[in-house]
Amino acid sequence: MGPRFFFPRFYLEEKPNDRIPQITTAVIRSEDKGRTWESTPFVIRPPAHQDELLINVHPPVRLEERVAGLHVDLLARSDGKGWSIKENIGHLSTVECLPMQRLGEILAGEAILCAADMTNRATNKADYNSREITELLAEFRKKRGELIARMEQVDEADWGKSALHPRLNQPMRIVDIAHFHGEHDDYHLARISELIRAFG
């Protein structure tokens, strides 16, 4: 199967598993302004236990540790390739409602998932650079905690349930929501690290 696009600039590439033909492995790639990022390979199947589901929904401490002690001037600087550190953090909070809403839609038996804002209008209009970093981190911590708590409530029998992704025209399961959201985190954490290296 060829690439299936998911997040803006992200696509999923499925590959047969040479060792175990009954399963399919995949990687997520991102191509953005000449740069390419690739996730670690993963198996496309429901998780065996709850910890496997939740391991992809990362706790907020990873983000907090990444930006701890940074000078305030660095936090609002852009390298011309995208958002600043504050804007990347704000964006993660902005899109936290999407997996929560889609999870609810799947559990409610909706046939089609809500569409994402591909223009990132909310992030671009939010003026995150004018806000305190402590406020942005606290907001993300609150929203991520709510998502993790909601994921913990999902019954094992529901992990493989799905609904149609409106743009991809492909079924998306609860386990897919968790995995892709974690990979989205990783992309923005990588961008933050890139900015730290550039200006730190």
| Cα–Cα distance for residue pair 147/185, rounded to 1 Å | 14
Are the CB atoms for 115 and 167 separated by under 8 Å? yes
Q: What is the pLDDT of residue 54?
A: 67
CATH number at 46-199 = 1.20.120.450
Domain boundaries, the chain: 46-199
77-130 pLDDT, tens digit per residue, is 999 989 999 999 999 999 999 999 999 999 999 999 999 998 999 999 999 999
Are the CB atoms for 156 and 50 separated by under 8 Å? yes
Compare 145 and 45 and report the one with higher pLDDT.
145
Helix 85-94 × helix 174-199 angle, to 10°: 170
CA atoms within 13 A on the CB side of 140: 25
The closest alpha carbon to 128, from 189, 78, 79, 80, belongs to 78
| Cα–Cα distance for residue pair 166/35, rounded to 1 Å | 27
24-83 pLDDT, tens digit per residue, is 455 555 555 555 555 555 545 555 566 666 666 778 899 999 999 999 999 999 999 899
What is the token pair recorded at 1? Answer: 């199967």
